[in-house]
């Protein structure tokens, strides 16, 4: 496979997360185990020449070390937190899980889902061209009913999701992990409005909130060599007052502080803190 030919631009950011998850999976005190992450990297040799997201390599980078370690740790923490959110949502009755911009997320394979759960993965067609080739080559078997939906999440995706079997009468758990920053505020507003229209009461939604997406943190990140493939792709995301906007649009939001979560997992944050994650429960259409 020639990943350089397949995963380019924003699609390649999925591979960056595989680096983070592969490193974490090697740790004795890992917060999750993703055996597929390294397999994706094995299928993409040379994708990140001279770069690594290991804490040790980041620590050797000098002034930007703490921020680099913070970004890598954020990826680790969010993976574990969203694992927990999705399993809690399915235990509470959400029989459908929708991974918006699934990237190389292997949750459909590595988590223990309750019987009957259907996981939809949405991302750009080129991501699935790479991902499915690797998974097929491994003979990987999902631990749920898994459906892939190749789409551009900026327009026209909702009909494709319904055509793939999504049932708007059944509560769903939606995850937008590592996505919103790559969209403009208008695109995020449209996306969340469509998610709302497809969400029956009891549905859940989760994404990152504040902190790592602060303008000051992002400005500093733009100077980091390890992130220079990503930062030009950032479009701003949702912006301020996500909880207020969700609250006015049929959701009951809840903010989870990143530092508190990290502490609860026994892994303090390596650097400046702030922000965290937003989860929300659908109260009305």
The contacts of residue 156 (CB under 8 Å, 6+ apart) are none
Nearest to 113 by CA among 140, 138, 91: 91
Q: In whole angstroms, what separates CA 103 from the centre of its chain?
A: 8
**CB-nearer residue toward ligand SAM: 24 or 177:** 177
Decide: is 10 part of the binding site for ligand SAM (CB under 6 A).
Answer: yes
Nearest to 29 by CA among 275, 262, 277: 262
Candidate residues 152, 228, 241, 260; the one interacting with ligand SAM per rule CB under 6 A: 152
Answer for the pair 16, 44: CB distance below 8 angstroms, yes or no.
no
Q: How far is the CB of 144 from ligand SAM (least distance, A)?
A: 17
The SS3 assignment for 242 reads: helix
Nearest to 68 by CA among 81, 50, 82, 54: 54
Q: How far is the CB of 233 from ligand SAM (least distance, A)?
A: 8
Which among 61-69, 152-160, 199-207, 236-244 is the span making contact with ligand SAM, rule CB under 6 A?
Answer: 152-160
Q: Residues 107 to 126: which contact ligand SAM by CB under 6 A?
A: 123-124
The SS3 assignment for 204 reads: strand
Bridge-partner residues for 176, per DSSP?
100, 207
Decide: is 101 part of the binding site for ligand SAM (CB under 6 A).
Answer: yes
Bridge-partner residues for 120, per DSSP?
98, 147
Residues in the chain: 285
**CB-nearer residue toward ligand SAM: 126 or 248:** 126
Answer for the pair 133, 169: CB distance below 8 angstroms, yes or no.
no
Decide: is 13 part of the binding site for ligand SAM (CB under 6 A).
Answer: yes
- What is the C-alpha separation between 169 and 198, in angstroms, rounded? 8
Q: How far is the CB of 153 from ligand SAM (least distance, A)?
A: 4
Which among 40-48, 66-74, 97-105, 275-283 is the span making contact with ligand SAM, rule CB under 6 A?
Answer: 97-105
Residue nearest to ligand SAM (CB): 103
Which among 42-50, 62-70, 178-186, 263-271 is the span making contact with ligand SAM, rule CB under 6 A?
Answer: 178-186
Handedness of CA 52, 54, 56, 61 (dihedral sign): positive
Q: How far is the CB of 248 from ligand SAM (least distance, A)?
A: 25
Decide: is 182 part of the binding site for ligand SAM (CB under 6 A).
Answer: yes
Q: How far is the CB of 13 from ligand SAM (least distance, A)?
A: 4
Residues that bind ligand SAM (CB under 6 A): 10-11, 13-14, 17, 101-105, 123-124, 127, 152-154, 177-179, 182
């Amino acid at each position: 496979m020639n990943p350089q030919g397949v995963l380019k631009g924003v699609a390649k950011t999925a591979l960056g997360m595989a680096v983070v998850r592969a490193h974490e999976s090697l740790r004795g005190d890992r917060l999750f185990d993703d055996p597929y992450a390294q397999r994706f990297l094995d299928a993409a040799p040379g994708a990140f020449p001279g770069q690594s997201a290991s804490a040790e390599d980041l620590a050797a980078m000098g002034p930007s070390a703490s921020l680099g370690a913070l970004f890598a740790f954020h990826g680790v923490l969010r993976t574990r937190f969203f694992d927990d959110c999705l399993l809690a949502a399915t235990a509470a009755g959400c029989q459908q899980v929708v991974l918006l911009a699934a990237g190389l997320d292997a949750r459909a394979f590595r988590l223990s889902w309750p019987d009957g759960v259907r996981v939809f993965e949405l991302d750009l067609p080129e991501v699935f061209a790479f991902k499915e080739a690797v998974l097929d080559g491994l003979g990987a078997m999902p631990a749920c009913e898994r459906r892939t939906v190749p789409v551009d999440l900026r327009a026209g995706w909702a009909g494709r999701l319904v055509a793939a079997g999504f049932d708007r009468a059944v509560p769903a758990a939606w995850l937008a992990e590592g996505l919103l920053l790559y969209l403009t505020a208008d695109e995020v507003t449209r996306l969340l409005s469509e998610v709302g229209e497809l969400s029956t009461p009891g549905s859940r939604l989760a994404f990152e909130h504040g902190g790592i997406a602060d303008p000051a943190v992002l400005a500093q990140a733009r100077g980091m060599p390890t992130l220079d493939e990503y930062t030009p792709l950032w479009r701003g995301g949702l912006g301020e007052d996500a909880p207020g906007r969700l609250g006015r649009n049929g959701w009951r939001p809840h903010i989870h502080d990143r530092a508190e979560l990290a502490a609860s997992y026994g892994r303090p944050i390596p650097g400046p803190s702030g922000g965290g994650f937003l989860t929300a429960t659908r109260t009305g259409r």
